[in-house]
Amino acid sequence: MNEPSVPEAVADDSSDAMPSTDGRQSRFATLSSVDLDNFVADQQNKETVRKTNGHIALFKEYLAENGERRDVCDIAPTELDPLVGKFLCVVRKEDGSEYEPSYLRGMFSSLERHLRWKKYDVSLTTGPEFFTAREQLKAKQKALRKQGKGNLPNKAGTLTDDNVDHLYATKQLGGHSPQSIINTLWLNNMLHFGMRAIKEHRSLCWGDVQLKRDSHDREYLEMTGEHQTKTRTGENVTDVRPVNPQMYAFPSDPERCPVICINYTDHLDQQIPTVWTTPFI
């Protein structure tokens, strides 16, 4: 997956830099306010932006059905407060069923985020003007929990050793097929490298994981190139791993050895098109 684009003025300050009054090349690139806004927007988490836009579109649909044609940001807090509260109480899924309590909270956060991006004067989460909306959200969540909502029926269960044994026994893991190899790589990356999201795998590039040997001549894989993740966004420059994550070979069990598994893909490094920068496309 390609990294978010950076405005040209930011990416190459030498071409757009203005000469200083004494004839020397300026160290500061020219950057319009529009380019700066676009640059900031490009750094937002794409999934967060997609979810926020979806919730705002749904809220606007609710406003239109109730005869409110103004833009959300043009509605005064005293008028917006009851609209937000009632929306969270009456909104339903497309099939007419209720949302989970946590999902309603997510909608509320999306509204807050949208208004913050648009420089709205008052915060939904802290402003006293939206006290009623927050109380109505809490009441709705309590009512839903009384109905049995909030138990996360689709929550993934813990992966046990017996589950892993079954996956290997049924050849869903191991070196039996291209798909089983990919499955094993994903599992190993999650267990040993702490990778969890799809984006983290698909931003992984050839060369980010290197084969090394320790002082006892034991082989291991080390992730040397960590990209932006959901929990490490780059905002905090000190939030880095103290050591690179590693996974060691265990030749006594070739079927489950992570080094042997990744060696199955060695030939791909020579055969794939150069435009494929990641093994997980």
The sheet with strand 246-248 has its strands ordered as 209-213, 219-223, 246-248
Is residue 277 exposed (0-12), middle (13-18) or buried (19+ Cβ within 10 Å)?
Answer: middle
Digit-coded pLDDT (tens) for 101-133 = 999 999 999 999 999 989 999 999 999 999 999
pLDDT in tens, 173-217: 988 888 888 888 888 888 888 877 677 777 777 778 888 899 999
Single-letter residue type at 176: H
Give the C-alpha separation, 181 to 171, whole Å. Answer: 10
3 burial via Cβ count (<10 Å: 0-12, 13-18, 19+): exposed
pLDDT at 125: 94
Percent of the chain with pLDDT over 70: 77
Q: Tens digit of pLDDT for each residue in 32-64?
A: 887 877 777 777 777 888 999 999 999 999 999
Residue 127 burial by CB count (10 A; 0-12/13-18/19+): exposed, middle or buried?
Answer: middle
Instruction: Pick the more confident residue, 53 or 237.
Output: 53
Question: Does pLDDT of 276 surpass 50?
Answer: no
Q: What is the pLDDT of residue 73?
A: 94
Residue closest to 250 by CA, chosen among 242, 241, 260, 240: 260
pLDDT score for 103: 93
* Residues 141-161 pLDDT 10s: 999 999 888 776 666 778 888
Mean pLDDT of 88-99: 94
Amino acid at 124: L
Q: Does residue 1 surpass a pLDDT of 50?
A: no
Give the model's pLDDT for residue 250: 86
Q: Which two tokens stand for residue 47?
A: 């999934």
What pLDDT does residue 16 have?
Answer: 53
Domain boundary assignment for the chain: 8-40, 44-146, 161-271
Q: Which residue(s) pair with 212 in the sheet?
A: 220
**DSSP sequence for 234-263:** SSSTT---SS--EEE--TTSGGG-HHHHHH
Find all residues with CB under 8 Å of 69, minimum gap 6, and list them: 63
* Single-letter amino acid, residue 175: G
pLDDT of residue 198: 74
Please tell me the distance from the alpha carbon of residue 217 to that of residue 219, in angstroms, as a whole number: 6
> In the prediction, which pLDDT does 28 show?
82
Amino acid at 164: V
Report the pLDDT averaged over residues 19-34: 75
